[in-house]
Amino acid sequence: MRKLMLAVATVASIAMVGCKKTGDGEYQVKTPDVNVSTDSHTVKVPTVDVGTKTDSINTPVVGTKPETLIVQKPVIGTKKTAVKVPTVDVKKPPQE
């Protein structure tokens, strides 16, 4: 397992050696040409907006209420609860 992770890390580091960040969300990648020279290409990275929105769900409520003067009768019901749900919006870069 460690050998596999080491191999993946090595391949990833070798792949990033030929990249250079040219701007916000852009990387310049050098690729080999047939005549053993390098040609530069600009690769645009997609933008990702992450946020949250609030939804309401019904959650169970357990309690007791008096049925007679001696016994407390169990009662089960529901109540609305607000929860935050993550949202992700991915915008692809324009194609050239």
According to DSSP, the residues that pair with 67 across neighbouring strands are none
Kindly tell me if the per-residue pLDDT of 89 is higher than 60: yes
In which domain, by residue range, is 60 found?
A: 47-96
Share of the chain above pLDDT 70, in %: 68
State the pLDDT at residue 40. Answer: 78
Mean per-residue pLDDT of the chain: 75
CA distances from residue 7 to 11, 15, 29 in whole angstroms, order as listed: 6, 12, 22
Judge contact between 44 and 93, C-beta under 8 A. Answer: yes
Higher pLDDT, 12 or 96: 96
Kindly state the DSSP code that residue 46 receives in the 8-state scheme.
P
- 59 and 36 share one domain: no
Structural domains in the chain (count): 2
- 52 and 70 share one domain: yes
Spatial distance between the Cα atoms of 19 and 32, rounded to a whole number of angstroms:
13
Spatial distance between the Cα atoms of 26 and 24, rounded to a whole number of angstroms:
6
pLDDT digit string, tens, across residues 38-77: 777 787 888 888 888 888 888 888 887 776 677 677 788 8
- 40 and 73 share one domain: no
- Out of 11, 29, 45, a domain closes at 45
- 56 and 41 share one domain: no
